[in-house]
Copies of this chain bind each other. A is one copy, B any other.
């Protein structure tokens, strides 16, 4: 079968690999119908993720059809159309029982990381019963690819951890795909002002189309000041960090109102300064989270009832044999305007 394989920093290729086999009673083999590329894949290709070894098939998102199942799998049968979660969860360990699938002792984020992933014709899914979700009849499969990772990430790490409430003021720092996923799902809770901050005017245009009530280009260094003006000098109830660098986290520290929350989504590569000399008395909460995908059933219901249209995040479409082009388009998002690219296998 064809697979996109990582060969160390800067190197990748689309090549022929053996179709995966079942290895444990709980495994399923899934034939991929659609997959996509994540910012994390780019991190791997830059060499930022040393736990991902050369030779690995990349990809942790996708939808497909169950091909074969192990003897312990009871929830799925060959032929079932399934959504693949980016997080594999055994459903049994202490973390899984608390809903912290991200820290599953035999799972977590392993697909396209420590085991072969979804940018291929077939993928082996461990713990299939608790890592796959049935695709409802008549669902738009393409849109559901957004539920593998990006929408639960924006929702769980940003919106739920950020405790977004009706009428509240929310700032989302970063209008990339993850920030926009937070923007879409924040609207489940009818916040009042929904401010999106980024350096790229084109992404801010998208944010306005997707529901932002205000957008701020932070390139002049005056974003915090502008938010103060918008909020009568109070700050925001929820600040969602969707970039992952010190400057954007610091901006969130400046934006958050007393009693508010900073919900971090960004993948950080360096420590940040936490200004406790100012914040110790501000009654704030800071949260971090690797997505658990425990809200996938809820998100599927919101898609089904048309409260959420995940396909709005899709900008480009490719075939699997064009995946190197897809990577280029995604890597040069500033010029291509790419948000999420669909790859049809």
Contacts and interface: CB of A to CB of B under 8 A. Distances in A.
A167 to B, nearest CB: 3
A193 interface: yes
B270 A273 contact: no
B71 A294 contact: no
B275 A284 contact: no
Nearest to A245: B276
A305 to B, nearest CB: 3
A276 B288 contact: yes
Given A190-B307, A192-B304, A266-B276, 5 more contacts: A25-B25, A95-B259, A98-B259, A167-B301, A286-B286
Contact of A281 (B102, B299, B301): B102
For chain A, give the interface size range: 35 or more
Interface in A13-53: 24-26
Nearest to A274: B274
Interface in A62-92: 70-72, 74-75, 90-92
Contact of A271 (B276, B281, B290): B276
**Considering residues A273, A305, A307, which has the most beta carbons from chain B within 10 angstroms of its beta carbon?**
A305
A283 interface: yes
B277 A274 contact: no
B249 A298 contact: no
Interface in A245-302: 249, 258-259, 264, 266-277, 279-290, 292, 294, 297-302
Interface of A: 24-26, 70-72, 74-75, 90-92, 94-98, 100, 102-103, 106, 129-130, 165-168, 187-193, 213, 244, 249, 258-259, 264, 266-277, 279-290, 292, 294, 297-302, 304-305, 307
Per CB-CB distance, the 5 closest pairs between chain A and chain B, nearest first, are A72-B72, A167-B301, A192-B305, A281-B290, A268-B276
A92 B277 contact: no
A15 B280 CA distance: 34
18 contacts: A70-B72, A71-B72, A74-B90, A74-B106, A92-B129, A94-B297, A95-B259, A100-B258, A102-B281, A103-B259, A166-B189, A187-B190, A192-B305, A213-B305, A266-B280, A267-B280, A272-B273, A285-B286
Nearest to A276: B268
Contact of A288 (B98, B279, B297): B279
Contacts of A102: 281, 283
Nearest to A289: B283
Contact of A273 (B168, B244, B258, B273): B273
A79 to B, nearest CB: 19
B272 A276 contact: yes
Contacts of A70: 72
A148 to B, nearest CB: 17
B268 A277 contact: yes
A253 to B, nearest CB: 10
A272 B274 contact: yes
B244 A280 contact: yes
Contacts of A287: 284-286
